[in-house]
Amino acid sequence: MQQYIAHRGDTVSRIAARHGLTPEHVVQGNPWASRQPYLYPGQILFLPSAPRKRYAVQEGDDAEVISALFGVSLDELERLNPGVTSRRWCVPGKELVIPLAAPRTEVYLRGEYGPVDVEADIGKLINKYPFIQKDSIGTSVLGKPLHLLKIGSGSRHLHVNAALHANEWLTAPCLMSFIEQYAAAYAEGKAWNGHHPEEWYSNWTIWAVPMANPDGVELVQEGVLSGHPYYEELMKWNGGRRSFRHWKANIRGVDLGDQFPAHWEEERTRRRVPAPAPRDYSGPASLSEPEAAALAQLAEEVPGTAAVSLHSQGGEIYWNYRGYEPPESKELAVSLAAASGYRAVELTGSDAGYKDWFIQRFRRPGFTVELGTGKNPLPLADFEDMALETGLILATILSNLK
């Protein structure tokens, strides 16, 4: 067992990932961690040694086959198993120690994916793919940047945002993953799941805001300590609960999904939430929150051909709004559903969302996509499937909408 002292921003999942463990390993050495919603700086944890993955050599194996099987380099395999690259040593039945596979992509989960991870991954992507442009559309209530990634040179514009709701943060790495896969395929001149990124690049420009509610995401993942500028208010709005994993709103208790000027007053009356809360409070006025106002301002400055707001969960695609949507929206929604395995749903009785406002304001196709199924926050194990589904949906728009 090794001793570890928790720092600000640490979570069980992040510590586990950093030490080559699973969250279950960390909890096993620290049973109290399963009953405490968050770690606090200064708490001491006892971490077991990382378990070694082992493999018994099979008939026909050699070092190259084994390295490809586990996605590890020959050098790393040789370092832990001296002599393995010699065929005389790599014989059936021989037990090998398998090193941890290095990540094959820049965007991957190191535990919960928060504002720090977005910023770090953006830096890696623009360094690796200089044709991706980085900007900011403003800042959150607490001054965190609202990052913008721009890719493509076409005259059609696709607006995409994710993590508008705090406990739906898994949508952020899904969007980031698609940007990376698109960039990699374009740079290498390769197709992506049957689509052609070089055509996307020449026909479209994507404007992506991967984490529209960074303050709220951080609150969900890390909780709040007494030195936080909104500590007293947050504890009151949260009914005294320490856990904020159910929190959808921004740091001022305003639900950004109900902030847009599309029959906003009716939505506020329907919700009947008169004050800051974990969810469903529409705010004192539409676009009162800097995060929502920044998204609207971007769309006003660069009128979009289409827009997608990524949420979770439900495996559904909402495509209409009070009859304001153009005729092609329904047919395109059916195509998106077919590509992703989701359901295209004609939604009624909901207003003031980003998709609602975009459709009403520009009369262009807009979609709310509910990624995954289960209970928010969705488990990290769902990331790979959700990231692919995100890509298939966006790729279908980029390949089919004229």
Say yes or no: 318 and 212 in one domain: yes
Candidates 366, 383, 365; CA nearest to 374 is 383
% residues pLDDT > 90 (the chain)? 88
Residue 30: give its domain's CATH number. Answer: 3.10.350.10
How much is the CA Rg of the chain, to the nearest whole Å?
A: 23
Contact 332, 398 (CB under 8 A): no
Q: What is the pLDDT of residue 122?
A: 98
265: amino acid identity, one letter: E
What phi, psi does 46 have (nearest 5°)? Answer: -110, 120
Strand partners, 148: 135
Indicate whether 85 belongs to any domain: yes
Residue 372: how many other CB atoms lie within 10 Å: 23
Say yes or no: 351 and 318 in one domain: yes
Say yes or no: 43 and 140 in one domain: no
Indicate whether 309 belongs to any domain: yes
Average pLDDT over residues 152-180: 98
Decide if 291 is catalytic: no
Task: Mean pLDDT check: name the lowest of 23-32, 71-80, 109-118, 227-236.
Answer: 71-80
Residue identified by tokens 């991967």 is 210
Residue identified by tokens 């990524």 is 310
Q: What is the pLDDT of residue 101?
A: 79
Say yes or no: 174 and 90 in one domain: no
Residue 306 pLDDT more than 90? yes
Residue identified by tokens 């910023």 is 119
Say yes or no: 26 and 162 in one domain: no
Query: 372 is in which domain, residue-wise?
Result: 115-216+287-400
Indicate whether 260 belongs to any domain: no
Say yes or no: 354 and 310 in one domain: yes
Residue identified by tokens 């589904």 is 389
Average pLDDT over residues 143-168: 98
3-class secondary structure, 340: helix
Write out pLDDT tens, residues 167-198: 999 999 999 999 999 999 999 999 999 999 99
CB-based contacts of 66: which residues, under 8 Å, 6+ apart? 55, 57, 77, 84, 90, 96, 98
Residue 242 pLDDT more than 90? yes
Q: Mind giving me the DSSP string for 223-291?
A: ---TTSTTHHHHHHHTTT-S--TT--S-TTS--GGG-SSSSHHHHHHHHT--S--SS----SSTT-SHH
Indicate whether 133 belongs to any domain: yes
Indicate whether 263 belongs to any domain: no
How many domains is the chain partitioned into structurally?
3
Say yes or no: 34 and 74 in one domain: no
Indicate whether 225 belongs to any domain: no
Indicate whether 65 belongs to any domain: yes
Say yes or no: 297 and 385 in one domain: yes
Indicate whether 25 belongs to any domain: yes
Say yes or no: 72 and 34 in one domain: no
Q: Mind giving me the DSSP string for 101-160?
A: PPPSSS---SSS--HHHHHHHHHHHHHH-TTSEEEEEEE-TT--EEEEEEEE--SEEEEE
How far apart (Å, rounded) are the C-alpha atoms in residues 104 and 132? Answer: 19
Say yes or no: 141 and 87 in one domain: no
Say yes or no: 140 and 6 in one domain: no
In this prediction the pTM is: 0.92
How far apart (Å, rounded) are the C-alpha atoms in residues 107 and 126? Answer: 12
Write out pLDDT tens, residues 246-297: 999 999 999 999 999 999 999 999 999 999 999 999 999 999 999 999 999 9
Residue 84: give its domain's CATH number. Answer: 3.10.350
pLDDT band at 402 (very low <50, low <70, confident <90, very high): low
Average pLDDT over residues 82-102: 85
Contact 112, 14 (CB under 8 A): yes
| Residue 300 burial class via C-beta count within 10 angstroms: exposed 0-12, middle 13-18, buried 19 and up | exposed
Residue 338 pLDDT more than 90? yes
Strand partners, 366: 307
Write out pLDDT tens, residues 106-131: 999 999 999 999 999 999 999 999 99
Say yes or no: 156 and 127 in one domain: yes
The first and second tokens of residue 183, run together, are 């960039």
CB-based contacts of 229: which residues, under 8 Å, 6+ apart? 142
Average pLDDT over residues 12-27: 92
Question: Given the DSSP bridges, would you call strands 366-371 and 306-312 parallel, antiparallel or unpaired?
Answer: parallel
Contact 301, 205 (CB under 8 A): no
Which of 291, 325, 370, 389 is catalytic? The answer is 370
Residue 378 pLDDT more than 90? yes
